[in-house]
Amino acid sequence: MTKQEFIHYLNQKLAVLSDEERQDIIDEYTQHIDMKVENGASEAEAIADFGDLNELVKEILDAYHLNRSHVDSNFIMEWIEKIGAGISAAAKSITKMKSDQLIQLIIELVILCLVLTVGSLIVKLIAGLFLTIVGFLPGFILSFISGILNLLYAILALFILYVYATSRVKNMQSQNEANSKDKDKSTVAASQSTSTTSSKPAWQIKKEREMKEAEERKAAKKKAVQPEVMQEETVESIAAERPAASAQSVHEEVIERINSRASNPSSNVGFLSRTLMGLVRFFVGLICFFPLVIVVTVFAVITGLLIIWLLMGLGSIGLTLIFLGLLVIFGGMAAAVGSFLFPKNRGYH
Amino acid sequence: MNVQFKKGVLELVVLLAISDQDKYGYQLVSDVSKIIDVNEGTIYPLLKRLTNERYFETYLQESSEGPPRKYYALTKKGALYRDNLKQEWLKFVDEVNAYITKEEKT
């Protein structure tokens, strides 16, 4: 192998690095070969001294904390990366929730889909009435109007689903964190409570409330703790800790707490490695539970077909919503499998 | 020699080899490979990693022959790291040696 071939090889294999980094490391190797040649070796000998070039590339990429599987990348890989980032972000936010909360969320979303499907029937009915009233108009205008109505409803339904899902996920996360924070605070309060007599009952009440909450979660009741209730509880618990504090400062603290939840500590590890880990986790989960996934998919499809058959004449919106519901079930199963496979394994960042 | 031994101690040797003066890549690599018989190609990634971790800093300097050379210099953080690593190594070797002598006696 000549020096040029070697450089070409490195350029190809290290394509994942930035141009600057790649040039930097290639310069080092080129210089090394040049010096060897100056000292009387041939280019081929100098390169042979590097040993197995595959190993060499692996070592170089390891130094950048990169996964080997990434070496043969192309532009398709970039897209997979982007999708993987989305998946891992979603999986991360989902695995932060407790499993019964996850199931609860899935059930809620499915119910919402069904409600929206029924809603589409009503909309169709109203639209039909309206269209009969204005039946004197030419046919193409009528079909245009009904098309617009369908489209509007579809957009509305998607929007509702999206807003609901995101707000619920956030809600559940902050609820979990609030609980753990309150627990921390209560232990502090417990150690301090010997001096102040008034703080102890408040602490007890809080603990009782926490226990009740835990029981509620255990039973996986569908009654979700609404955001207002959650906030009120935080307000109450803070107020209980500091009875003298004015209402406004309590509210400020609540806002602070909520804000602090939003900002999670950013990690130093590169975006790439996290993405790859997410991808790997996702696929490992998928492969390990492939039979399960197939069963779930088949079941979902059969259920879907049954529902479609029952609600014949729903039109495209109904079908889309049912499809979305199935998608949610499938995604939820995948996430549950993932969190089951890697229960606390979020320590890679 | 055992490859794992070499791998483990390579970092320490590289840090020691650069202690007395700044060196450019080839210089450092050939100095290190005089002490440990190791694949020279694998030292460059190590230099890269040590630079990324701020144990080394680099600067370019013109040379009489060929293009400018990239010199590596040990940072304060790197010196601290080197001292820690050295202490760890010495302690480790002492412990292993003590164990070996004890085993031989019995």
Q: Any idea what the CATH number is for the domain that residue B72 is in?
A: 1.10.10.10
Q: What is residue B88's predicted lDDT score, i.e. its pLDDT?
A: 94
Report the alpha-carbon distance of residue A47 to residue A33 in Å, rounded.
Answer: 7
Cβ contact A60–B47 (<8 Å): no
Q: How many domains does chain B have?
A: 1
User: Is B40's Cβ below 8 Å from some Cβ in A?
Assistant: yes
User: Is B11's Cβ below 8 Å from some Cβ in A?
Assistant: no
- Our CA-based measurement puts residue A344 at a distance from the nearest CA of chain B, in whole angstroms, of 28
Cβ contact B44–A29 (<8 Å): yes
pLDDT of chain A, 349 residues: tens digit per residue = 888 999 999 988 888 888 888 888 898 899 899 888 988 888 888 888 888 888 888 888 887 765 444 444 455 556 666 666 666 666 666 665 666 677 777 777 777 777 777 777 777 777 777 777 777 777 777 777 777 877 788 888 888 878 887 777 777 777 666 666 555 555 444 444 444 444 445 555 555 566 666 665 655 444 444 444 444 555 455 444 444 444 455 555 555 554 444 444 444 456 666 677 777 776 776 666 666 667 777 777 777 676 666 666 656 666 667 777 777 777 777 777 666 666 544 444 4
Sheet holding B23-24, edge to edge: B23-24, B69-74, B56-61
Question: Per-residue pLDDT tens for A91-120?
Answer: 666 665 666 677 777 777 777 777 777 777
Instruction: Measure CA A333 to chain center.
Output: 14
Question: Cα torsion for A198, A199, A202, A204, to the nearest 10°?
Answer: -110
Chain A residues whose CB is inside 8 A of the B66 CB are 31, 34
Question: Per-residue pLDDT tens for A47-73?
Answer: 888 888 888 888 888 877 654 444 444
Query: Residue A112: which region, alpha, beta or left (left: phi > 0; alpha: psi -120 to 50)?
Result: alpha
Cβ contact B25–A31 (<8 Å): yes
Q: What is residue A290's predicted lDDT score, i.e. its pLDDT?
A: 65
Chain A residues whose CB is inside 8 A of the B47 CB are 28
Q: What is residue B96's predicted lDDT score, i.e. its pLDDT?
A: 94
Chain B residues whose CB is inside 8 A of the A60 CB are 44-45, 48
- Our CA-based measurement puts residue A21 at a distance from the nearest CA of chain B, in whole angstroms, of 10
Residues 6+ apart with CB under 8 A from A276: A67, A69, A70, A81, A84
Residues 6+ apart with CB under 8 A from A108: A164, A168, A222, A224
Enclosing domain of residue B51: 3-105
Domain boundaries, chain A: 3-73, 88-341
- Our CA-based measurement puts residue A185 at a distance from the nearest CA of chain B, in whole angstroms, of 38
Chain A residues whose CB is inside 8 A of the B33 CB are none
- Our CA-based measurement puts residue B45 at a distance from the nearest CA of chain A, in whole angstroms, of 5
Residues 6+ apart with CB under 8 A from A278: A84, A85, A87, A88, A89, A91, A92
Cβ contact B41–A29 (<8 Å): yes
